[in-house]
Amino acid sequence: MNFITRRTLLGGTAALGGLAALGLGNIPAFADEAGNKVLRLPLARAAGNLDPQRYVGIFAVQELIFDPLVQYTRGGVIEPALAESWDLAEDETSVTFHLRPDVTFTDGEKWNAASMVWNLERWLPKEDYNWLHISNNLDRIETVDDMTVAIHFTKPTPTALTEFTYVRPVRFLSPKAVDADGTYAEPVGTGPWKIEKDAPEGTELVPNENYWGTRPQLDKLSLVVIPDARSRMSALQAGDIDAMGGAFIAPVAPQEATTLKANGITVVTDTGTDTMLLGFNPRIELFKDVKVRHAFNLLIDREGIGAVLMKGFATPTMNLYPEVIAYSGKRYDVPKRDVEAAKALLEEAGWTGDGIRSRDGKPLKVELVVSEDAVPNSRALGEVLQAGFAEAGIDLSLRNVDHAARHGDIPEFKYDLSLFVTNGAPYDPYNTLGLMILSTIQPGTDGKIFEDPEVDPLIEAALNAPEGEREAAFQAVLDWLHDNWAMAPLYHAQRIWAHNDRIKAFEIPATEYEMPLKGLAL
């Protein structure tokens, strides 16, 4: 198999058909030289270290290799996986998993209570993983018998089943896939696929012939590293790859989707599970004033951003979560842009004058941190906001930073305004509230969208509410955030994939952390 190298791509293969010059165009997409059915998909970067307990590898590749105990499906429904069934304590302080029998890792090691506990003890009791409630609240792990394990918590943990669906650090590695000192050595799981070849240029996987579930219909999955989006588009149009998409796989931007569609490529979309937000630094005086936050919200043309900037591939919103997220609450009206009402609110807040407004001799100047690496399209979005705010006498400047600088500045509140993206499925509705808004939790690398001790009790109540009370508890939080103009939700971006006509049926998976293989037909 010929892989596409980074050097080749940087050498100018972005033109249509450029990949054919590498010899890739000579291989039919669904057959190799031996006649095996092969599906070829791009990766924006190499798969990386696939240790399921580290935050390094590409989620969707790990997900192919390592199974969860339970599977997240659309709308937050939890289904069996390596656990055939489970018993959740009425007070939600423990969950007992009954493991699926006759499952083996691809190296022959048995899946049972011992291998499950071995995996859990690699990470679950460790402080580094305390962003997960199942880790932070852990009391003890109990081996009931050879195929039954109970996890006990120090307090009710309603997030437990959802957290056990995550791709990392929760998936399961063969106990034999480590070296003598217990350090990860190779990616060996129980999943439907296993690694045949892994290199910086790409990764090849073949079906796990002993897989306990529905076995793949393909003979091989070839993941080719193509870092540049234009090169991916050219490869798709030339027939050198068969599909592209996924926020963490090989993303398709709205403009790219529009171009591909115009060139006869099938574009498939689905409701996004996350939200693009404009966040106000809650620790500076300017944004402690609800009237200022309200004014900034009224200066945003959400409809225009969705239609023009996002090419129609987004739904304008005033909600923290899209409807596909459990407990996402009632839909709030999206306010029309109203410059005069915003000016009046700023006047009431003491920001007056012609041109750039000021208060107590201080001009109304704010800075928006933008990072194309961390938040794609943020530069263009920042320029739209900049022009809109200027009409009300707000001097908005843009500070461009790379991914690393953003992840350093935002948690330390070194910004006035920043763009944020909620965690999406399967992490929400819990993670965004619990990690990015609850003020008692220290900010992680994604920073804080908002914080205020006044809303903390409502958030705590929602995160710990039993099933029957959960919907009302989450609604109370969402109403408070909305009524206090705590942030500026902008839109729910659609999830975009594109494929050629060799694919006859295509289904976007439930989360952005999966390859779209389950509903795919050739």
Domain segments of the chain: what residues? 6-46+200-269, 67-163, 276-493
Alpha-carbon separation of residue 13 from 5, 199, 240 (angstroms) = 11, 20, 12
214, exposed or middle or buried, with CB in 10 Å at 0-12, 13-18, 19+?
Answer: exposed
In this chain, the answer to whether the domains covering 67-163 and 276-493 adopt an identical fold is no
Q: What is the pLDDT of residue 30?
A: 55
Q: What is the pLDDT of residue 180?
A: 94
Cα separation, 63 vs 167, whole angstroms: 6
Cα separation, 385 vs 436, whole angstroms: 23
Instruction: Say if strands 395-400 and 365-370 run parallel, antiparallel, or are unpaired.
Output: parallel
197, exposed or middle or buried, with CB in 10 Å at 0-12, 13-18, 19+?
Answer: middle
Q: What is the pLDDT of residue 31?
A: 58
Q: What is the pLDDT of residue 7?
A: 27
6-46+200-269, CATH topology level? D-Maltodextrin-Binding Protein; domain 2 (3.40.190)
Q: Which residues of the chain have pLDDT under 50?
A: 1-29
Q: What is the pLDDT of residue 18?
A: 35
Instruction: Say if strands 358-359 and 266-270 run parallel, antiparallel, or are unpaired.
Output: unpaired
The label of the residue with tokens 């055939």 reads 84
Q: What is the pLDDT of residue 345?
A: 98
CATH code, residues 67-163: 3.40.190.10
Q: What is the pLDDT of residue 20?
A: 35
| CATH-assigned architecture of domain 276-493 | Roll (3.10)
Give 386's contacts (C-beta < 8 A, 6+ positions apart): 368, 396, 397, 398
